[in-house]
Structure formats: structure tokens, C-alpha cells
Structure 1
């Protein structure tokens, strides 16, 4: 494995840095609401129009067709420029639905959806989790009745991020009524304008309503919207989850180093009750040094993971290990910042721009659940990476 940057890689970095220096949005992203969705569409469209959307996506679908390593460089430069890179309303489309359709979809699905995802014309949400089927996805109950030309869906999905602003949904349902667990599932593209859909917002501790419950009452979805095969949806869902847990958190992985550097800078400016700067406190200094080392190790692991994904064409189970490590480091960093600023910094009015460290702290708890809980990541790592025997 050769992780040295080529002349082409270095030139790509210089071009990316130059473009971002003059094109990063001058105004912060709105915290939530339709204004946030409009911001996301506009930023994605701007990157697309200037040739920076889908760095590693195939050229035939509007991407640049570049390597995974160059995708990493792009994320590093986004983090350096403090540019938007991990946006709720475009994340599902770019990191879940798009790669899944590219890998498992029909030619017609690829031709229609992939360019619209890259251009920001289509926002997506995920319909996987349910009130009683979160981390245990195979126990989902939302059902689809297969009829001539359509699948009629009834049930409910939970924690659906930005469903109210989404144009489409990646939807996993049970189409074989006699099936159990992983069998009899189907992965569908659901148009969010179809009759019978009812979206209810859920207010969170982040002071927003970007997660929702979605109810389905005889929603008629064309069979042409099936990705993969009817009753073979678990295989398609595994592809989606591998992209989410493998490559979907690259932005967070690489931004951790920049966050640690900003925390070190903060510690050099904030005085503790003792009167000395936080960075002069041995305990805090040791924690920040450890976090910097961890963030650099995560970057190296990310590069190795990307190289492996480039070689095989699809992320492997080590993505769960990465997710687990990034989650733990993110949480440890947020707790260290709490020591620096004092725990009164947890007072939060929902303004992410005014209170970025508070938002990061609250998000670190969400991150331990989103994309599969840390317990699930440990189980996947034990089963598929370490090949440990299951407890009886």
C-alpha cells in the first residue's frame, strides 16, 4: 500500500484549496428549517456547477471519476476551509442512496437519480428505523403488499432525518408476510410526494426538528422503484449500510484533526478558575495531546480504508471499527472542551453558529447512535473483522 501523494494528487489539492478559498459560503448555514434545506441545495448545486461534486463518482453520472485518495484530499480541504461537508439534507443522497443505486440499481434508476443527487436537485431521507426496529433493523414491521405494477405500503418509520424536505426516500419494508428477520425484505425508492404519506416532526435536544416519524397509509409505489430484487432487500440494505459505516463518515474522520487543533488553540486563550490558561493545566494538556495523536491515527486508518475500498470496489467491515473509534474520540474531545470552557457551555438556544462547541458536544451523543449504535459496531467488528465466535 503506497500512501504517498503523487504530483497529480498535490495539484488536485492546490486546485481544491484555491477554489474553496473564494467559494466557501460567507454566511453560516441556518440551524434548521426550510432555509437550511435551501442552503444545502444551493451549496451542492454550486459545487456541481463548478465541477467539484462527486469527486470519486463515475463521470457518466456527473462525477469527476477520481480516486478515493483524492476524495480524502477534498474532504481534508473542506475541513481546512471550514466549508460545509456533512449536511443532513444531502448526506443521505450522497453517502447512502447514490452509492447504493450506482452499485445495485437499474440503468434507468442510475440515469434518472444520480445526476439529480449530485446537482442538489434531489434531497433524500432514509426509511429504515422503526419505533421497535432501530439497531435491530431485521425486526422491521412496515409492510408492502405486492400487486400488479405496484407495492402498497403500510406502517411507520422513525428518526427519519429531514423527511419533510426530502424529494425521495430509501425505504426498507417487508414484502413477504410470512417472512421473518432478514428474509422477505425489499429496498424501494419512495417519492415523498406520493398520496398516503404523513410526516410528523420530532423536536430534539439540539433544538431542531430535523428528525421525523413517517406514516404510510396505502402508499402505492411502482415496482420499477425496487432496487435489487423484491424480497431480496436485505442484500441491498447491506450495501447501503456498508457505504454509511464505511465511507459515509469520512468527513467526520478527517475533520476531527481540525477540531482538535481548534480546541488546542482555544485552550491557549481561555483561563481556568485558577487563573492559568487551560493549556497550562497538565491534565488538560495531556488529554489534548492524546486526542491529537488519536486524530492523526484516525487519518492514517482512513487512508488505509480508502485504499482498500479503491482496490475492492466496496467498503469492508472495518468501517464499523472506524465508526466506533471516531465516535469515542469525538465524545472525548467534546468532554475535554467542556473542561476548558466550564460546563455552563451546555446552555444551548439552538444557534449552532453562535455555540459550535455546545452543538458538537450534543451531537457527539447523537453520533453514538446514528448509523448504528456503538454496541452494534462492536458486534459487527467482532463478527466480520475479528471473526470471533458468537456467545451461546
Structure 2
């Protein structure tokens, strides 16, 4: 197995590192910024990226990209992860990676010309409208209704757990257009403007104290008849291809981020005088081995993605693996902090927190807010662990469906 990247990818890596060196402030730490500073900084950073050709690097030149091989996108994501630089609210997975690439595959020429420039520039932010109160893991059970009226579609219903919904300019939704059809059929994929009467967004405050997720209500909301991807009643195929885009370069960046978190976990054990404890050392060794397995699993996923252009059901193993690992690792962090780990105070710190900050008494926020509480939801969002196991069992191993599965 040759794990080396091709020469052209390493040449691009040099360019990315030079870009980061030229444009990141000396000693920059994203975790030092408060919420408002972070949002303002990511907007400026997004503009800097676009101005220097660091957005959509693998997209065709005719749509504003650079036409580089897909592995260039992996290199870009890797170097950003190593530098602790966030993608930002307008260049996140939903807007660029998911919506942008879905438009490239399924969009008409008019749709590409209309929407792709705004995605690349960051002028238009997209959010995802999939889950509903009674249609999460069983997404095909959705009930949001869309009815054709002249040159428009009229939508009525609700979506929930819409990430950053309050920041969205557009939302892509799955809506039922044929109630008489079987569940997976009769669903259409729509592009809907959010800044209109008939769309109400209600933020949901989670256990971290943040309002990252939202409820979105549609009451006679409208979108142009041309704002659908794929065929009428054929939205399930579009939705599945979009979900496959969630894995992609994450196979390369997740091991980097989890390795950084592991190093912080070791520092935490040392600072709290537990690094000589045989049981703690054994548990840390377990965490280290899991991160390394994650890295080599990532290589396999990347090989498939770069070769085939998309990922099959096998990629579900990555989501299952990291989400369940993360809960064990953050449980260990809480144990190492002891009773002090139950108190949330001080500023929030980034994943790339420096060693001296581990010793600070106010460093608990980093573990409690970003890791511990969010880790609890990792086995639920983007497909529950139960759903990932069903996918692997039925679509990869060929096992029969379980009782009650349709």
C-alpha cells in the first residue's frame, strides 16, 4: 500500500501552507474569539479564501473553480484542520460541500449559473431541511407537503434540527409531492428561499447554551417551479447522493482532529497527576489505537471517493466508528477532571488548545461544551448508530431486514 500523495497534490499542499502563513495572524487561536468575534472573523476569512482561489478548488473552471483533482480538496481540508482554522459559517459542509456539489451533479445549466457563484463567493448561505419531528432516522416518513400552483410550488409543514437555520438565505428541502406513492417515492428535492413571508425560523437552545439548531415552519411558503433538483417525485435519489457527500474529505480531517484531541487528553492526564495510573494509561492506549484505526479506515474511504467520485453504503462504518469512540474518549476526559469537570466556566477554547491552556482553571469549557455534551449527540445526528448498522447489515452484508423495517 502506497500512502503517499501524488506530486501535484504535494505541490498544492505547499501553496496552501503558504496561503495560511501569509494570511493567518501570528499566534492565531480561533478559540480565543468570543461568539461575535468568531462570526465576524470567519466572514472575513471566507472572503480572503475566495480572493485567493481557495474555494471550490476541484470545481470546473467554467463554474468558478480551479479544475484541480479532487485530492486537492482533501489536501486543503487537511491543512486547515492542522492549523485549527474553521471553514466558517458560509463555507461549511452544508453550503459548499453538500449543496454546491449536489448542484454540480443534478442542477440544470440555469441553476448552476444562478446559484454556484453565490456559493463560491459566500454571498448566499444554505441550510438543510431534512429531519421532521416524526421523520428523523425514518426520513422517508416526512410529511412536509408541496403542491403545484401555476409557476410555483407551495409548501406547508415543518422541519427540525436545521443547523444554523437562522443564518440561511436558502434551504434545500425534501417535500412530499405524491402522498399516494410509497414512502421513498413521491418525494421531491426543492430549493426554497428563506427570506420570505411564510417561512418562520425558531432557534433551539441546546445543553451547551448555544442555538445552533432551529425549527423551520412553512406556511404557504413559495418557490419557483424551476427550483427543484432531479425529477418530480424523484428526490430520494438526489437526497442519497447529497448524504454521501458528508463523508468525503472528512475521512482525512477527522483523524487529524481526533489526534489533536487525544494529545490534549494526554496533557489533561498529566496535569491532573493521572498519567502514571496504569488503568488510565491503558485507556489512553485504547484511545490512541482507535484514532490510528480511524486514520487507516480514512485512507480506504478516500481511495473509494477519489476513484469513484462518490461513496457507497460502506462509508457508514466511519460515522458509526468515530461517533461511538468520541463518547468513550470524552467520558475519560470528564473522569480525569474529577468534580471540577462538572462546572462550566470561563471562555471556550478551540480543539487546538495549547498545553499551557490545559492547566488553566477555566479550560473546562472546551471539554464540557465542545466535546462532552456534543459527543452525546454524535450517535444521533447525521444518521443514528442504529441506522448506520442497518445500512451496513442490509446494503453491505446482505442481511435480511429486521422486524418492523420497511
Q: Normalising by the residue count of structure 2, what TM-score does the alignment of the two structures yield?
A: 0.87
Structure 1 unmatched ranges of 5 or more: 272-276
> Residue in 2 aligned with 1:274?
none
Q: 2:46 aligns with which of 44, 50, 70?
A: 44
Deviation at 1:345, TM superposition (A): 2.0
> Residue in 2 aligned with 1:265?
267
> Residue in 2 aligned with 1:165?
167
- CA–CA distance in structure 1, aligned partners of residues 335 and 90 of structure 2: 29
Deviation at 1:381, TM superposition (A): 1.3
Residues 375 and 123 of structure 1: CA distance in aligned 2, closer, same or farther (over 3 Å): same
Partner of 2:188, secondary structure, is strand
Residues 254 and 318 of structure 1: CA distance in aligned 2, closer, same or farther (over 3 Å): farther
- CA–CA distance in structure 1, aligned partners of residues 371 and 62 of structure 2: 37
Task: Single out whichever of 379-388 and 63-72 deviates more from structure 2.
Answer: 63-72
Task: Single out whichever of 143-152 and 76-85 deviates more from structure 2.
Answer: 76-85
- CA–CA distance in structure 2, aligned partners of residues 302 and 249 of structure 1: 4
Partner of 1:278, secondary structure, is coil
Residue 291 in structure 1 maps to residue 293 in structure 2? no
Residue 3 in structure 1 maps to residue 13 in structure 2? no
Q: Deviations over 1:300-359 (max 9, x none)?
A: 221221121121121221221111111122222212222222253243359533522222
- CA–CA distance in structure 1, aligned partners of residues 177 and 345 of structure 2: 43
Residue 321 in structure 1 maps to residue 317 in structure 2? yes
Residue 356 in structure 1 maps to residue 356 in structure 2? no
- CA–CA distance in structure 2, aligned partners of residues 343 and 88 of structure 1: 38
- CA–CA distance in structure 2, aligned partners of residues 382 and 324 of structure 1: 13
Partner of 1:320, secondary structure, is helix
Tell me if structure 1 keeps the 8 A contact 2:30–2:85: no
Structure 2 unmatched ranges of 5 or more: 350-362
Deviation at 1:382, TM superposition (A): 1.2
Partner of 1:159, secondary structure, is strand
Q: Describe how 1:163-312 pairs up with structure 2 within 5 A.
A: 163-247=165-249, 251-268=253-270, 270-271=271-272, 277-312=273-308
- CA–CA distance in structure 2, aligned partners of residues 190 and 248 of structure 1: 27
- CA–CA distance in structure 2, aligned partners of residues 64 and 350 of structure 1: 43
Deviation at 1:3, TM superposition (A): 2.7
- CA–CA distance in structure 1, aligned partners of residues 61 and 289 of structure 2: 37
Task: Single out whichever of 13-22 and 211-220 deviates more from structure 2.
Answer: 13-22
Q: Normalising by the residue count of structure 1, what TM-score does the alignment of the two structures yield?
A: 0.90
Deviation at 1:212, TM superposition (A): 0.9
